[in-house]
Amino acid sequence: MATARDEETPAVSLPVYLSASLPPSAQLELFQYPLYARGRSLPVPATAAQRGQRVTARWRPYSDRVEMELPLDLREAVYNQERGAELAESCASMGRIGVPGGAAVKQERGAEAPLRFDSMRLESATVPRATQYMIGTVQNGELHLVPLHAVQQMRPSMQHIDCHAQASEQGRRVSASDDESDAQRDGRRHVVPLSVSLRTDTSAPRPAGAAPGAPTQRDADAERWVDLRFADASRDEHALAALQARSRAPLVCTTPACEFL
């Protein structure tokens, strides 16, 4: 019969090391995908892989924003060709996320090939930190801890919906303008273009809760994107080795037990 003391016996005991092997310029971030299955790689349909498509990503370092594009399954059973053509036409201004070193490669479409909305874009939202989070990896019977710079949640972007709505609204305005009578056009007042310049007061106080030195929305939108190469680090031995502590100095706990028990 198991006793209470037996239930409190640890199943395994591992030495714990704090890793500082990453260079100061490197950032380790945790990406969460709330709408995708846990413990699985990001979905890339087999049809997309056959087309040579892959997951692409880009990053704004100063504002720490990340965007990704996931290829879509274009099979007729799961894809609306007519709707996809409408979204592709109205979202052409969004551009595509490229691959580092592949800027010169362009996707060529034949005259008979339709324009298709073939990828879903995800955008990041930083999760507020309640404490200092760490990533732990078990290697050779040792637990190595690496501090996390940030936690990002990747959710679908609604930019394509906004672009489609703007294109539809513009089409309705053009149609309404074409339906006006010649008499109304002739009697219309002369329109004088007016240029308006908005200036931001740099001395104005920041909104409540904004961290000192945090980028404003205007600064974030003006920042250039940096294309990233997306890789599955769980299968990369070099990536795991980079998280391993080089020093085996023992850690000394300075927090009294009464503060965390």
pLDDT tens digits, one per residue of 187-208: 555 555 555 555 545 444 544 4
Residue pointed to by tokens 């050779």:
140
Confidence band, pLDDT 50/70/90 cuts, at residue 57: very high
Q: Give mean pLDDT, residues 140-160.
A: 90
What's the one-letter identity of residue 16? Answer: V
**Could you report the per-residue pLDDT of 100-129, keeping only the tens digit for each?**
766 533 444 444 556 788 888 999 999 998
- Flag whether pLDDT at 29 surpasses 80: yes
State the total domains in the chain: 1
Q: How confident is the model at residue 209 (pLDDT cuts 50, 70, 90)?
A: very low
- Render the burial of 50-65: b for 16+ CB within 10 Å, e for the rest: eeebebbbbbbeebbb
Residue 190 phi, psi (nearest 5): -70, 130
**Separation of alpha carbons 244 and 76, rounded Å:** 47
For the chain, give the secondary structure using H, E and C.
Answer: CCCHHHHCCCCCCCCEEECCCCCCCCCCEEEECCCCCCCCCCCCCHHHHHCCCCCEEEEECCCCEEEEEEECCCCCCCCCHHHHHHHHHHCHHHCCCCCCCCCCCCCCCCCCCCCCCCEEEEEEEECCCCCCCEEEEEECCEEEEEECCEEEEEEECCHHHHHHHHHHHHHHHHHHHHCCCHHHHHCCCCCCCCCCCCCCCCCCCCCCCCCCCCCCHHHHHHCCCEEECCCCHHHCHHHHHHCCCCCCCCCCCCCCHHHCC
Give me the pLDDT at residue 124, please: 94
Radius of gyration of the chain (CA): 26
pLDDT at 221: 75
Q: What percent of the chain has pLDDT over 90?
A: 15
Out of 22-31, 52-61, 237-246, least confident range: 237-246
Please give the pLDDT value at position 45: 86
Q: Two tokens at 202?
A: 């740099």
Contact (Cβ atoms closer than 8 angstroms) between residue 28 and residue 151: no
C-alpha span between 15 and 26 (Å, rounded): 25
Of the candidate ranges 91-95, 136-140, 211-215, the one whose mean pLDDT is the lowest? 211-215
**Would you say residue 27 lies in a domain?**
yes
pLDDT score at 59: 92
pLDDT confidence bin for 98, thresholds 50/70/90 = confident
Q: What domain range includes position 235?
A: 12-101+115-172+215-248
Cβ–Cβ contacts within 10 Å for residue 170, how many? 11
Q: Look at residue 180 and tell me if it is in a domain.
A: no
Query: Has residue 168 been placed in a domain?
Result: yes
Asked if residue 95 belongs to a domain, the reply is yes
Mean pLDDT of the chain: 77
- Predicted pLDDT at 255: 84
Asked whether the predicted pLDDT for residue 91 surpasses 50, the reply is: yes
With a cut of 60, say whether residue 54 has pLDDT above it.
yes
Check residue 153 and give its pLDDT: 94
* pTM attached to this predicted model: 0.67
- What pLDDT was estimated at residue 36? 86
Residue 137 within a domain: yes
> Mean pLDDT throughout 209-233?
73
Is the per-residue pLDDT at 151 higher than 90? yes
132 assigned to some structural domain? yes
**Would you say residue 60 lies in a domain?**
yes
Find the mean pLDDT for residues 9-26.
86
In-domain check, residue 221: yes
